[in-house]
Amino acid sequence: MQQLQVVSYIHGERCWPSVEKLAPCEEACPIHQDVPSYVIAISQGKLEEARAIIRQTNPFPSVCGRVCHHPCETSCNREVVDEAVAIMWLKRLATDQEVEKRPKRAKMTRQEKVAIIGSGPAGLSAAYDLVRWGYPVTVYEGSPVAGGMLTTAIPDFILPKEIVQADIDYVRALGVDIRTTTWIRDLDYLWGRGFRAILISAGAQKSGELKIPGADLDGVLLALPLLREVKQGEKTKLRGRVVVIGGGNVAMDVARTVLRLGANEVHVACLESRRDMPAFSWEIEVAEREGVKFHPSLAPQRFGSSDGSRVGFIDFKRVLSTHTDEQGRLTWTLMEGPGSEYNMATVDSIIVAIGQGVDIGLNEKLTFNSGGGLLVDADSMLTTVSGVFAAGDVINVVGTVSESIAAGRHAAGAIDRYLKGKDPKTTSAPRKEAARLEAEMVPAFLTRQPRWEMPAIPARDAIRGFGEVKTGYALWEGVEEAKRCLNCRTCSSCIFERHQLCFETATRIL
């Protein structure tokens, strides 16, 4: 108990050591969130305080507690001791355990109005910052619901709709005007209504198509339309053997969804080798546990039919190698000669999940980059049209939720500077060095303790419905997990220089 009290004071105003370095988790986070502070707050059961810390930089704590790609954990110093702290799951705990109070409406101190096209994580993150800085913000969303892919495509068994809605309601309560079922086709419509800056954050909502023979046969479906239908409650039954083409995270979502729609077998075929599949390793592992079969290094050449109308088989060629360039574009080399061909017979349905594209539907003459997204200046987020900014997947085509939040916050800062008559380009101050722990630096007094596993529904039961698979920590489990944090950003002396004396001195003082 004494150690808990010391850690609390170290994070308070009476902190006596000099804070010369960043925690690696904070450095790795795309939004550079104050991870140590909210984890330590959770270790003391202070969930309200933890939420307040998280919301300083993140308007989507409930969402990120479920679908973040958590690079913070990959960088966690605790991994040198035993296992990384479950930072993402602790963020979820902070929002799941208590009903959060709605914030007070932000005061409007600026006259310049900002319009945002698209209500995904990038757009709403920009709105979140701008409204707190006093700007009137209106978000236009073509879909009947706000949230972008969070609410229209990510399956409920991963991210329930009500979880996303709770975070969106928080942003709306601050005073952001979110107008759904409103398509913006012409930017003059917005300029004519007095907006002084426009942010395009419409995402990458177009599902990639395969241009091969048989792609128009009955039974060949596209990933995003299927996921949207299921998210809206239209759970069409799929029987027999279903093949998903693609190796990314969307393909994993589709494969797991198809299992729940009644398919007898679900197979995933992709160009990449198993090692090089773009889906996150944990997404592949959970799909495999639920029964999905994988067929890597295969390139579809033709979708065939035995009756001339409905798909019945797939002809593949084996892939010798793949290469991804700096823009994320994939190229591949096919095998030739004997053994290079592969046929998958008795296929009842095919779902194409090979990527996404940008289709913003604007009449404005905007310039696109080589990857298919909008071209922007990386420092200012300005497009080639004056006063028009862009952020998120509409630029990068495929990013993560936390990267989209970071992009939205970057754009908000640029818009703020632009509207104040300053150079919108980012002027970043030099960041502190990260405090990294090496194996030989681990002090003997640190107790080894593996991290608490996230409770989850067994795979055989999970695939029977669309309920959330991971059920969340109990409060006591989360507190115990948070206590594993080394607090390496602040009390670096005892951990990185083996000076246990500073800990003992602090204990006597307090």
Tell the CATH topology of 113-205+358-419. FAD/NAD(P)-binding domain (3.50.50)
The tens-digit pLDDT sequence of the chain (510 residues) is 333 333 443 444 444 344 567 889 999 999 999 999 999 999 999 999 999 999 999 999 999 999 999 999 999 999 988 999 999 999 999 999 888 888 999 999 999 999 999 999 999 999 999 999 999 999 999 999 999 999 999 999 999 999 999 999 999 999 999 999 999 999 999 999 999 999 999 988 889 899 999 999 999 999 999 999 999 988 788 999 999 999 999 999 999 999 999 999 999 999 999 999 999 999 999 999 999 999 999 999 999 998 889 999 999 999 999 988 776 778 899 999 999 999 999 999 999 999 888 888 787 788 888 778 899 999 999 999 999 999 999 998 778 999 999 999 999 999 999 999 999 987 666 677 777 777 777 777 777 888 999 999 999 999 999 999 999 999 999 999 999 998 876 554 444 444 444 444 444 444
Question: To 10 degrees, the CA torsion angle through 263, 264, 268, 269?
Answer: -110
**Token duo for residue 208:** 């990639």
Nearest to 475 by CA among 7, 1, 47: 47
* pLDDT on residue 100: 82
Per-residue pLDDT tens digits for 365-379: 888 887 788 999 999
Tell the CATH topology of 206-356. FAD/NAD(P)-binding domain (3.50.50)
Nearest to 58 by CA among 129, 130, 142, 144: 129
* pLDDT on residue 327: 67
Q: Is residue 243 classed as helix, strand or coil in its secondary structure?
A: strand
Nearest to 70 by CA among 52, 91, 55: 91
Q: What does R_g of the chain's alpha carbons equal in angstroms?
A: 25
Nearest to 11 by CA among 47, 42, 36: 36
Domain ranges in the chain are: 2-101+443-509, 113-205+358-419, 206-356
Residue 221: beta bridge partners? 351
Within this chain, domains 113-205+358-419 and 206-356 share the same CATH topology: yes
* pLDDT on residue 61: 96
Q: CB pairs under 8 A, 24+ apart, for 314-322?
A: 314/243, 314/269, 314/343, 314/344, 314/347, 314/350, 315/341, 315/342, 315/343, 316/269, 316/341, 316/342, 316/343, 316/344, 317/341, 317/342, 318/342, 319/271, 319/272, 319/273, 322/271, 322/272, 322/273, 322/276
Amino acid present at 221: L
**82 CB neighbour count, 10 Å cutoff:** 14
**Token duo for residue 114:** 């900002």
Pairing state between β 206-207 and 356-357: antiparallel
Nearest to 164 by CA among 182, 179, 149: 149
Residue 324: beta bridge partners? 330
Q: Global pTM?
A: 0.90
**122 CB neighbour count, 10 Å cutoff:** 35
* pLDDT on residue 332: 92
81's CB contacts (< 8 A; 6+ apart) are 437, 442, 446, 448, 486
Pairing state between β 388-390 and 195-200: parallel
Q: What sign does the CA torsion over 50, 53, 57, 59 have?
A: positive
Nearest to 28 by CA among 19, 38, 36: 36
* pLDDT on residue 17: 44
Pairing state between β 220-222 and 298-304: unpaired
* pLDDT on residue 21: 75
* pLDDT on residue 365: 82
Per-residue pLDDT tens digits for 145-162: 999 999 999 999 999 999
Nearest to 15 by CA among 6, 23, 24: 6
Amino acid present at 195: F
Amino acid present at 35: V
Domain at 2-101+443-509, CATH class? mainly alpha
Instruction: Tell me the backbone φ, ψ of residue 283, rounded to 5 degrees.
Output: -70, -40
